[in-house]
Structure 1
Amino acid sequence: MKSIIAEVKECTMCKTHLPLGPRPVFSIAKDSKIAIIGQAPGTKVHESGIPWDDASGKLLRTWLEVTEEEFYNPSNFAIVPMGFCYPGKGKSGDLPPRPECAPLWHEQLFELAKSIELYILIGTYAQSYYLKENSKKNLTETVRNFKEYQPNYFPLPHPSPRNRFWFRNNEWFEKEVLPELKIQVQYILSL
């Protein structure tokens, strides 16, 4: 595991496309229990080098009902984004994750982390990649039908403050999905 982690940290595969240069941000251990697969680091996370070290991460930890200490313990959570480096700014937020990362690194990393019980898929990129043709016509429908992907996958919207209108328009998410997520996370962490 140490050698593949070192390899990913040294990756420069798409450096010509990265405005701030390569800085892969992820965390994983051989005994990780839950994998969190998000999009790509933003500028704040790129600077700190700590995954989910922003407002989105704070909300995500609330959804999971875990402390920072629990969240950043790689024996609990593998944090592996679809794109490991900050992809740059787009018209309405950050650009999509670089397409090279997941096919290049995910299988190699997860092959060594054999204790993972649940993959939390945050956002359309992760859901499309992992659920393939089983994902629904849009993120809302995929998240609404989260039980179809059990016990291996749990699709979520991105916990970005920019999604506040989505949360307001989809009150069922907080009432139906989050309680189930918390139960599953707490159960797996107790194993």
Structure 2
Amino acid sequence: MNETFEELLHRIRACRICVEEPIAAPLPHEPRPVVVGSHRARVLIAGQAPGTRVHASGIPFDDRSGDRLRDWLQVDREVFYDPDHFAIAPMGFCFPGLDAKGGDLPPRRECAPAWRHTLLEHMPQIELVLVIGQYAQAWHLGTDRHARLTDTVHDWRRFFERDARPRVLPLPHPSWRNTGWLKKNPWFEADLLPVLREQIRRYVGPK
């Protein structure tokens, strides 16, 4: 890796591949890649793609989903946005736009193949990856994942306890649209969240 980490992050934040070399329809707005890279953080949050509010602010998880995620982790905004604690790299760095029903489109397909392997190579210190949503689970778990997100998250022990580094913990998306899912799956709060919070206490300590 001849390129420095800072140079890589600069190139990512200047990326226009989904406008200039799109696989499908070009991105319907100006790109604004959102990523938090770190040489020090031991926890990587691998999400899906920014939403409208994050696109406007440029701050990852700067929305109600972020509020819920921080509650799951039991950290405040100051800790969450400290790159000494968390790296944040979604599968798509830019807001992908909205579908016909007003929901967010999937992450752009150009983004992960162009950047993800190189970015992860620059963060070898990561010890825990929180894999949020089906797109991040498809990339990080591959064919080991189940067809349904619920089954993948329910099978979290198999992924988390295997002899590999970094450890991987699959999570549902913290969107408030998933409130019904959380009510239907109480094991998530009873069984998975305590382990998640224990890991965060382990890796996200005082400087």
- Secondary structure class of the residue paired with 1:88: coil
Q: Which residue of 2 aligns with 1:133?
A: 143
Secondary structure, counterpart of 2:87 in structure 1: strand
Computing the radius of gyration over CA atoms, which structure comes out larger, 1 or 2?
Answer: 2
Once the two structures are TM-superposed, the CA of residue 119 in structure 1 deviates from its matched residue by: 0.7
State how 1:33-72 maps to structure 2 within 5 Å: 33-72=42-81
Question: Residues 72-151 of structure 1 correspond to what in structure 2 (within 5 A)?
Answer: 72-92=81-101, 93-151=103-161
1:166 aligns with 2:191: no
CA distance in 2, matches of 1:86, 1:137: 25
Q: TM-score, normalised to structure 2's length?
A: 0.89
Q: Distance in 2 between matches of 1:33 and 1:163?
A: 27
| Amino acid in structure 2 at the alignment position of 1:173 | F
Deviations 1:112-138 (A, max 9, x none): 112100110000000011100100121
Q: State the partner residue of 1:9.
A: 13
Structure 1: runs of 5 or more not aligned: none
Quick one: which amino acid aligns to residue 61 of structure 1? R
TM-score (norm 1): 0.96
Aligned length: 191
Deviations 1:14-50 (A, max 9, x none): 0262222200011011112110010100010000000
For residues 175-190 of structure 1, what are the structure 2 equivalents within 5 Å? 175-190=190-205
Residue aligned with 1:89, SS: coil
- Matched letter for residue 126 of structure 1: A
CA contact (8 A) 1:31 1:114 kept: no
RMSD, aligned CA = 1.3
